Structure 1
Amino acid sequence: MSKESFRDIIKNKAKLYFIDALGAMAFGLFATLLVGTILNTIGKSFNITFLTDVLWPLAQKATGPAIAVAISTSMSAPVLVVYAATVVGIAGNELGGPMGVYIATIFAVEFGKLVSRKTKIDIIVTPAVTVLIGVFIANFVGPYISAFMNFLGAIIINATDKAPFFMGIIVSVIVGIVLTLPISSAALCMMLSLSSLAGGAATIGCCCQMVGFAVISYRDNKMEGLVAQGLGTSMLQMPNIVRKPIIIIPPIISSAILGPISTMVFKLENTPLGSGMGTSGLVGQISTFTAMPNVPFIKLLGIVLLMHIILPAVLTFAIYEIFYRKGLIQDGDMKLYFK
């Protein structure tokens, strides 16, 4: 095997594991825990016991299997492997949380693929191997993974509480960049259990990227681009960022400015699920209300509108205008080509 072909294999596997699988993991989270959180919040607000006592616990239990199915599907696993992955998802989530599901499912799928359709009793061998490998990995490394991710998340949260200015900048900028890169910021924040002030700063960074790009690319993309990025994802700009990296600087500067304002002035918080979502489906905003139930609704609504939408839009556009007038960013640099 040539060095070039080996390099291609490594590159493809890296994309599969760290981009495709992580992105799919986020979808699994959205379809269960995210929807369940929103409906549970509605249930608590309007005293709908069906949403709080019936649907919410089921959504929580379904999270592991949903993540496993999403990941195995993204890895083009055979159907028997996908179905068997549900067991791996349950084990991974109980023993190691979302990160435990992620790692256990990847191992289970790869081994399941190796034996799939290789025997005459495939219907037994393939799911058996998938379940055995996945549950073994979940049982072996899950508790350590969970402990490490919680430890790392706790360090970030505690550091933000003790040094809100500097950590507000760091968390906001890093999570915002991750959101725009082909990596799931939502999955990252869930793995780290990022909440409290750190979760609030993370949300600011995501909002600066999403709302910021939506506004500064309006000349190129009009209303379709505004909605797609503002309520969808700024990840759509990745091809343009690769071609011209300077276009990501205005949202990053906005994140660095607004992050510490969030942590020090308004003391915004968020949940692990909402902290990496930004304005995608307004989940970051809904989760902020969930994380800060003691703040009067109208007051918090004003702060959220200001910090999550108005200031990211105004500040990012002002910085962009400086770049634009100096010729550093030009018309067409952020053009999206919708299919």
Structure 2
Amino acid sequence: MKKQKVMSKVFVNKILAGTATGVIIGLIPNAVLVGVLKYLSQYRLATTIGQSAIIFQIATPLIIGALIALQFEFSPMNLMVVAGASFVGSGVVKFTPDLGENGLYVGAGTGDIINTMITASLAVLLILFVGDRFGSVAIVLTPIVVGVGAGTIGFYLYPYVTAITSTIGKIINNFTTLQPLLMSILIACSFAFLIISPISTVAIGAAIQLNGISAGAAAMGVAATTIVLVVNSWKVNRSGITIAIALGAMKMMMPNLFRKPIILVPCIVTAVICSVPVALLSISGTPGSAGFGLVGLVGPLASLDAGLNIGWDLICWLVIPVAVALLSQIIFEKGLKLYNREDVFKFLG
């Protein structure tokens, strides 16, 4: 029983590690380029680069599936079968019968990361179960049985799994009916947690059409977690890891969240304090900026466009989060000794 528990833990950790790295690779290019390229939209090359980054982002489930399979040291064929199944089950490409004469397959976003993980897990388990049973016809049967099979199961699970995101979105949407300060705190805390979970903050922000102060609070929650992770990662991870987080790869800390949930304490506290200026200064955003935070400077630029002056913009988006993150580090790690930075913020992927 104990051995089975250990094996289950190792299995989950490998799924999380592959997902965390895959999310970084898939999302970073568009996250970094989107803020810069929008100012160069008059140039054809800039537009093409932006389109290429979006298409690359659509391949995120494929990348996640491949990296999960790599965690299990699968052969090249089995690796790509898991990748293909993950792509199908993610829902990133959907058949739209109303487009064209006979319908079209349309790709958008990154798909549902949770369903990608579930589908990849099913594909991995099927490959481990099948082993060498297919013999010389493995090249034919493995893609059909495992790739299409697991992908189809993921396809049918997709509506039920995405209902989780929908339910969370509805709960957060209820916060928008509260008075501004309480609303800002609750929304900021929600997004501070979601940005290091498998759930997409961008998808939720767009799905419930957060706007105005509610969108500003959502983006501030993401920004708060980003700053906390950067501040605490600086001396415990390689510089590349910290830079990746700063550029938008907060989800790479998913394994840390599942294994060391204490990581949420400084994130939530920082989000609470940083959300206060959002309500007091009416820091606003759009449905498109709600899930990005500091990534590509989307959050700060959206609040500038909404009328916040550049001085307050710098103070609210950078000075206050950095100061609170540093202070929370001193209080929680050195004062209250709730955790050790090396233990909690060391990248586990």
TM-score when normalising by structure 2: 0.67
Answer yes or no: is the 8 Å Cα contact 1:112–1:130 preserved in 2: yes
Match in the other structure for 2:176: 161
1:310 shift after superposition: 0.6
1:255 shift after superposition: 1.8
1:153 shift after superposition: 4.4
Q: Per the alignment, do residues 40 and 110 of structure 1 end up closer, same or farther by CA in structure 2, a change over 3 Å counting?
A: same
For the pair 1:94 / 2:96, whether they are aligned, the reply is no
Q: Separation in 2 of the partners of 1:273 and 1:149?
A: 22
Backbone CA RMSD of aligned residues? 4.6
Answer yes or no: is the 8 Å Cα contact 1:159–1:167 preserved in 2: no
Q: Separation in 1 of the partners of 2:75 and 2:273?
A: 47
For the pair 1:43 / 2:37, whether they are aligned, the reply is yes
Residue 308 of structure 1, aligned match among 317, 330, 340: 317
Letter in 1 for 2:273: I
Answer yes or no: is the 8 Å Cα contact 2:18–2:65 preserved in 1: no
Residue 84 of structure 1, aligned match among 81, 85, 89: 81
**Which secondary structure state, in structure 2, belongs to the residue aligned with residue 269 of structure 1?**
coil
Question: What pairs up with 1:151-300 in 2 under 5 angstroms?
Answer: 151-163=166-178, 164-176=180-192, 184-185=196-197, 187-190=198-201, 193-195=204-206, 196=210, 200-212=216-228, 231=246, 249=265, 251-262=267-278, 265-269=281-285, 275=291, 283=295, 285-288=296-299, 294-295=305-306, 299=308
Match in the other structure for 1:129: 145
Q: Separation in 1 of the partners of 2:281 and 2:122?
A: 45
Q: Per the alignment, do residues 27 and 229 of structure 1 end up closer, same or farther by CA in structure 2, a change over 3 Å counting?
A: closer
Question: What pairs up with 1:54-93 in 2 under 5 angstroms?
Answer: 54-56=51-53, 58-88=55-85, 89-90=87-88, 92=90, 93=92
1:253 shift after superposition: 2.5
Q: Per the alignment, do residues 174 and 44 of structure 1 end up closer, same or farther by CA in structure 2, a change over 3 Å counting?
A: closer
Match in the other structure for 2:103: none
Question: What pairs up with 1:10-49 in 2 under 5 angstroms?
Answer: 10-17=8-15, 19-30=16-27, 34-46=28-40, 47-49=42-44
Question: What is the identity percentage for the equivalent residue pairs of Structure 1 and Structure 2?
Answer: 16
Q: Separation in 1 of the partners of 2:12 and 2:272?
A: 30
Q: Per the alignment, do residues 26 and 300 of structure 1 end up closer, same or farther by CA in structure 2, a change over 3 Å counting?
A: farther
**Which secondary structure state, in structure 2, belongs to the residue aligned with residue 201 of structure 1?**
helix
Match in the other structure for 1:6: 4
Q: Per the alignment, do residues 40 and 305 of structure 1 end up closer, same or farther by CA in structure 2, a change over 3 Å counting?
A: same
Answer yes or no: is the 8 Å Cα contact 1:24–1:74 preserved in 2: no
**Which secondary structure state, in structure 2, belongs to the residue aligned with residue 97 of structure 1?**
coil
Runs of 4+ in 1 over 6 A off after TM superposition: 223-226, 270-274, 322-325, 336-339
Q: Per-residue CA shift, 1:177-197, capped at 9, x if unaligned?
A: 566xxxx44x42258533536
The structure, 1 or 2, with the larger RCO (C-alpha pairs under 8 Å, 6+ apart) is 2
Q: Separation in 2 of the partners of 1:105 and 1:65?
A: 10
1:128 shift after superposition: 2.0
Letter in 1 for 2:336: L
Answer yes or no: is the 8 Å Cα contact 2:289–2:299 preserved in 1: no
Gaps of 5+ in 1: none
Question: What pairs up with 1:328-339 in 2 under 5 angstroms?
Answer: 328-329=336-337, 333-334=340-341
Gaps of 5+ in 2: 95-109
Q: Per-residue CA shift, 1:154-198, capped at 9, x if unaligned?
A: 31442232225334333433543566xxxx44x422585335366
